[in-house]
Amino acid sequence: MIGDVNVVGLYVRDQDEALDFYVGKLGFQLHTDVRNGDYRWLTVQASGQAAFQLGLFRPGPPVHDADTARTLQQMVAKGAMPPLVLAVNDCHAAYQELKARGVEFTQEPMERYGAVDAGFRDPSGNGWKMIEARGR
Output the pLDDT for position 136.
53
Output the pLDDT for position 100.
97
Element (H, E) at 31: strand 29-36
Output the pLDDT for position 135.
64
Helix (H, G, I), strand (E, B) or coil at 75: helix
- Calculate mean pLDDT across residues 40-68: 93
Question: Torsion angle of alpha carbons 42, 18, 128, 44, nearest 10°?
Answer: 30
- Calculate mean pLDDT across residues 92-109: 97
Output the pLDDT for position 89.
93
Distance CA 131, CA 67 (A): 36
**What is the maximal distance between C-alpha atoms in the chain?**
48
Q: State pLDDT tens for residues 12-45.
A: 999 999 999 999 999 999 999 999 988 999 999 9
User: Which residues, 6 or more positions from 3, have their beta carbon under 8 angstroms from its beta carbon?
Assistant: none
**pLDDT greater than 90 at residue 128:** yes
Output the pLDDT for position 38.
87
Distance CA 99, CA 46 (A): 18
